[in-house]
Amino acid sequence: MTKIRISQIMTRTACLATLMLIFMSLTAAADSHEQDSAQKAVLITGASSGIGRRTTELLASRGYFVYAGARKQKDMDSLNALDNVQAVRLDVTVQEEVDAAVETVRKGGRGLHGLVNNAGVFTGGPLIETDIGELQWLFDVNVYGVYRVTKAFAPLIIESQGRIINISSISGALDWPMGGPYSMSKHAVEAYNDTLALEMARFDVNVSAVEPGNYKSDISATARARMAEKGLQNKDTKYADEWAGMSDSPADRSQHKEPDEVAEAIRHALFSESPKPRYMVVPNQQEAGWTIGELVKELVEWNERQPYSYSRDQLMEMIDAQMAGSE
């Protein structure tokens, strides 16, 4: 009887020891995974405020290392005060600063898992009155800036088989009076993103577009200051009422939500095992309706009254197939 009990005790002890070893092994694997995640580095352009700042704070708090691009020294000092963040002087319109940022990341020795093309500006006005210089300035940041930065960092991203995230906007689908210049730039970002995704797939690099709706940011205040400085609203215009409407809207966008949901979408696009090709992130059902409704309207217009149009049933079959493929 005693021998049986001793045998049972020894068997239980062996089982407990085995379970402990399995637990320790799983814990070590989890710790290793966390360490691997913490070592992944991401570069974010336009990180001084709004979506860029929020995303920098979120990723850094999760243990990732963030190279945070900013133009002004005071913004760089503020970013450098955050753990897991290194501010990088980066004006996306200046090739020398873009090249210097690449060199900074290379010297950091962490590689680069992700690039977030977030830097963006706004200028508004009627298209037939918009100064060509204003349009060139807007495209230099919103479109050519994305092109410059991505081209420069592509070798690092290809080395890591990482991710590229392009911050577009629901204005990449929507068009609205006085917002033509900005919408033009975001439509261009949409085309750039989708083509880049096709071309980078051969390197196992995933490319996603994040299309925010209206969230709190400094973009309107900065645009208002620039337009006032240049006297863009004071010139002779055929659109006086529209200019007045723009002036009446809050410049600080304080009526909108903080962009936490946008930052979470960017995190998912960067680190999820199954990132989506695009993330429409809006604060309410109304903005979702604006955007999806416009895309449906365009679909109908493309299909309407042309020799090779499709019936409603055929269109629904196409939609059903796309939805099934995205599940």
- Would you please indicate which residues are annotated as catalytic (active-site) residues? 182
For 166-178, what is each residue's pLDDT tens digit? 999 999 999 999 9
CB 155 within 8 A of CB 170: no
For 30-59, what is each residue's pLDDT tens digit? 443 433 444 699 999 999 999 999 999 999
pTM for this entry: 0.85
Domain boundaries, the chain: 38-283, 286-327
Taking the chain (327 residues) in consecutive chunks of 10 residues, what is each chunk's mean pLDDT? 46 46 44 50 97 98 98 98 98 98 97 98 93 96 98 98 98 95 98 98 98 86 70 76 78 77 98 97 97 97 96 96 87
Q: Could you name the CATH architecture of 38-283? A: 3-Layer(aba) Sandwich (3.40)
For 298-320, what is each residue's pLDDT tens digit? 999 999 999 999 999 999 999 99
Q: Which residue has the tokens 């050519």?
A: 144
